[in-house]
Homo-oligomer: A and B are copies of this chain.
C-alpha cells in the first residue's frame, strides 16, 4: 500500500474483498465507517465511498444510512448474459453467417398477441419468420411479431438483406425488455427448419421489447440442438 503511489479505490476494493474472503470480516459484520476506513487506508472519504459503493452494486455489501455498511449474508448472485445479435454470435465462432427471410405477413394482431402486448384490438402487426445459419447449418429459427404503430418504417425496410433484429436495434436502440429462457419440444415446423426430429428438446429464448410503455416486438428464438447459453460471474 505505501509504495509511493496514492491509494486508489481499486486498492480499497481489493483489500475489503480480501478481508471478507479471509473471514476477517465474516458475513454480517458491520464495517468501520467511511471516515475510519479513509484514515486507515490513508485516502479521502470519496475514495472509500466509491470502493464500497461498487462492492454494494456487486451485492457483496449492504449499505444503509445511519446503520452503516455490512457484509451481505446471502449474496444473490447475478449471471449476466450478453445478448448480442445472432450474426455477431455466429461470426465470433469463426463461422460463416447466413440469413434468410422465410415469411412476412402484415395482419391484424391475433387476440393472444393483443392481450400479451396490450395492443388495441385489430392493431396491424408484422409477422416474420426467419432462419439464421452458421456455415450453412441451421443455427436459429426466429418467429417475430412487430407492432407497426411503434416502428412504421419497418414496413418499407428491406428485410431480405438485414435481419429484423439488427434493423430494430438500429432503429430503436435503447428500450426495455423482458427475456426468458426455456426448453421445449420441437414441433413439426421447428423440426423442419432446424433439421431435427419431432419432439427433440430445443432451447428457446423469448423476448418482449417495450419503448415508453408501448410494445415494440415479441420474438421467440429457437436454437439448434445442443445449444448452450453461457456466462461468467
Q: Which residues of A contact B (CB under 8 A)?
A: 17, 20-21, 27, 60, 72, 74-85, 88, 169-170, 173-174, 176-185, 199-204, 226-233
Contact = CB atoms under 8 A, between A and B. Distances in A.
A183 B199 contact: no
A174 B74 contact: no
A23 to B, nearest CB: 10
Contact of A84 (B76, B81, B183): B76
A219 to B, nearest CB: 13
A75 to B, nearest CB: 6
Nearest to A233: B177
A49 to B, nearest CB: 11
Nearest to A202: B183
A19 B185 CA distance: 44
Given A174-B60, A181-B181, A202-B183, A76 B82 contact: yes
A228 B60 CA distance: 27
A201 B185 contact: yes
A27 B183 contact: no
A216 to B, nearest CB: 13
A83 B79 contact: yes
Contact of A75 (B80, B174, B183, B233): B174
Contact of A201 (B178, B184, B229): B184
Contacts of A179: 79, 230-233
A86 B208 CA distance: 26
Contact of A173 (B20, B182, B232, B233): B20
Contacts of A72: 173
Contacts of A78: 80-83
Contact of A199 (B82, B84, B199): B199
